Amino acid sequence: MKATLVYAGSLTIMAAAIISPALPRIREAFARTPDLSVLTGLVLTLPALFIALGAPVAGALADRVGRLRVLTGAALLYALAGAAPLVLDSLAAVLASRAVLGLAVAGLFVAGTKLVTDYYTGATRQRMLGLQGSLATASGVVFLPLAGLLAGVSWRGPFVLYLVSLGLLPAVALVLREPSRSAGGAGTPAGLDAGGAGTRALVGVVGLALVGMLAFYTLPVQIPFYVERVSGGGTAIAGGVLAAAMLAGGVVAAGYRTVRAALGAEWTLVATFVTMAAGFVLLGSAGSLPALVAGVVVVGGAQGLLVPNLNAIAAATVPDERRGRALSLVVTGLFLGQFCSALASGGAVAAFDIRTMYLGAGLLLALVAAVCGWTAATASVTDDRPPAPVVDDD
């Protein structure tokens, strides 16, 4: 059961970025298309927008028709839409398939995370959320180099990798079961209403998700250019630097439960944003490739704590019957931040430069950390509620 849930989580983070190595070949293949530069960029970023738009719908469906139906449908749609460019002959059609892929990822992300919070509670839930985040991030370390090799054969090559989601279908059918609506995991008291403290906390979580991903995604957007500026290195070095960030995030996410147990939810947020801020300051002041790599690794490591912790807090601050929609809002914040990152960082670099943009990101995140610290000192968000039926097997 745990392996199936972690497998589902691993399909989400790499969904958009997996075709990044093929972008130059895609540009060559559709060289006569108007506005090619903008449209080629959208091949990479468009799924994030539709993940953000589709997540609330996926959350509502998960609460209404069941988690397993949404997970199964999303896995099938992920394979069909993701691999569709293998037979598509126009850039407009490719973009349409990428939009549908975003909807599929929204379903996978929301239903998979919701099942974790339904089946598990307490330390086991935290460990599972950490494992999901760890493998989802680490999968990029495997799939990005493989996508690069396939892109060397054809621009269509990396799209084959989306078919891996088909392996989830028999696992879902044979291993998972639909959680009971009346006893699905540990939730907050049913009296928590739309105007209560839980909803206010959820709004804060979504805002932190947006800001955190907005900052983090400046790495894949801007690091290739920054590597060239700092060291004169090419795309291969830039890819290795980004893989280091993903690897660091995966390693740290695997230890999320330990960090959460030591610090608590609120202070884990503070530590996350303090560390990210320090990493961006290091990036902005980097004068050599080793210093740049160090900054990227620090930021990537901090990011490994962000997603599982925000999911855990969101799951703990709303009643059981609203948890799917709450988690979907976190997904919306994460991927809306990802989509907007290219626009925000591009504007900042155009107005100033890459170094100033990264230093500014560090200052922004330091302010966010200060607000989180003030909140942690005056309030507490916990998931210590009356126990409910839990599944804790392997």
- Give a yes or no: residue 384 inside a domain: no
* CATH number of the CATH domain containing 150: 1.20.1250.20
Segments in the chain forming alpha helices (H): 2-17, 23-29, 36-65, 67-83, 91-119, 122-153, 168-175, 197-216, 218-231, 235-254, 256-263, 265-284, 289-316, 323-351, 354-378
Residues in the chain: 394
- Give a yes or no: residue 189 inside a domain: yes
Q: Tens place of pLDDT for every residue, the chain, 394 residues?
A: 777 777 777 777 667 777 777 777 888 888 888 777 667 767 877 888 898 888 888 888 888 888 889 999 999 999 999 999 999 989 999 999 999 999 999 898 888 888 887 888 777 777 777 776 666 666 767 776 777 778 878 889 889 999 988 988 888 888 888 876 544 444 443 333 444 556 777 888 999 999 999 999 888 777 777 887 887 766 567 777 877 888 888 788 878 888 888 888 889 999 999 999 999 999 999 888 999 999 999 999 998 889 888 988 887 777 766 766 777 788 888 888 888 887 788 788 888 888 999 999 999 999 999 999 998 888 654 444 433 333 344 4
- Give a yes or no: residue 386 inside a domain: no
- Give a yes or no: residue 385 inside a domain: no
Q: From the CA atom positions of the chain, what is the Rg in Å? A: 20
- Give a yes or no: residue 394 inside a domain: no
Q: What is the pLDDT of residue 188?
A: 42
Query: Domain residues for 295?
Result: 2-378
Q: What is the pLDDT of residue 382?
A: 46
Beta bridge partners of 188: 319
User: For the whole model, what pTM was predicted?
Assistant: 0.72
Say how far apart CA 318 and CA 262 lie, in whole Å.
Answer: 24
- Give a yes or no: residue 392 inside a domain: no
Count Cβ atoms within 10 A of the Cβ of residue 28 and give its class: 0-12 exposed, 13-18 middle, 19 or more buried. Answer: exposed
Beta bridge partners of 112: none
Count Cβ atoms within 10 A of the Cβ of residue 69 and give its class: 0-12 exposed, 13-18 middle, 19 or more buried. Answer: middle
Give the number of domains in the chain.
1
Q: What is the pLDDT of residue 380?
A: 52
- Give a yes or no: residue 264 inside a domain: yes
Q: What is the pLDDT of residue 235?
A: 59
- Give a yes or no: residue 388 inside a domain: no
